[in-house]
Amino acid sequence: MDDLAGKSARFTQGMATRRKVLGDDHVDRAQAAKTAFDQPFQELITEAAWGHVWSSPRLTKRERSMITIALLAAMGHDEEVAMHVRATANTGATHDDVCEALMHVAIYAGVPAANRAFKIVKQVYEDMGRKSGAETEN
C-alpha cells in the first residue's frame, strides 16, 4: 500500500482513482519500481493525471477511458494503449466503445495509427480472455 502521510489531498485522491482505474496490482508494481530518480514524476502523474483530470466529475470514467485510448493510439504510445485497454475492465468502456474510439483515430490521426492500435487492442482482449478463462466479446 502507499505511504500517504504528508501527501496532498490531490495526491491522496489521485492514488485512490489510479487504483480504481488501473487496479491495485498495477499500481503496486509501479510503486515498487519507483526510485528516488522518478519519484517526482510519479507524484506529478498521481496528482495531475489521476488527482485532477481522472478524478474530475465532469466526465465518467468510461468517457475518460475512451478519450485516453484514442489519444494514446493517435500518438503511438503502444504500452499505454494496452494498459488503458486493460483498465476498461474497471472503467466500463466496452469493446464497442474502444472500437468507436479507434475509428476516430483512423479518421483524425490516420489509418496506420488506428491499424496499429487495433492490433494491440485485439491482443490485449485475447490475453484478458485467457486470464479470466472467458471468451471476449466481439
Question: What HEC string does the chain produce?
Answer: CCCCCCCCHHHHHHHHHHHHHHCHHHHHHHHHHCCCCCHHHHHHHHHHHHHHHCCCCCCCHHHHHHHHHHHHHHHCCHHHHHHHHHHHHHHCCCHHHHHHHHHHHHHHHCHHHHHHHHHHHHHHHHHHHHHHCCCCCC
In angstroms and rounded to an integer, the radius of gyration of the C-alpha atoms of the chain is: 16
Query: Count of CB atoms within 10 A of residue 19's CB?
Result: 18
Per-residue pLDDT reduced to its tens digit, 72-111: 999 999 999 999 999 999 999 999 999 999 999 999 999 9
C-alpha span between 87 and 82 (Å, rounded): 9
User: What's domain 59-131's superfamily in CATH?
Assistant: AhpD-like (1.20.1290.10)
Per-residue pLDDT reduced to its tens digit, 47-73: 999 999 999 999 999 999 999 999 999
Per-residue pLDDT at 137? 54
Structural domain boundaries in the chain: 1-58, 59-131
Per-residue pLDDT at 6? 84
- pTM for the whole structure: 0.90
Per-residue pLDDT at 1? 53
| CA distances for 125 relative to 50, 68, 80, 108, 121, angstroms | 24, 17, 15, 24, 6
Query: Count of CB atoms within 10 A of residue 102's CB?
Result: 24
Higher pLDDT, 106 or 130: 106
C-alpha span between 55 and 102 (Å, rounded): 24
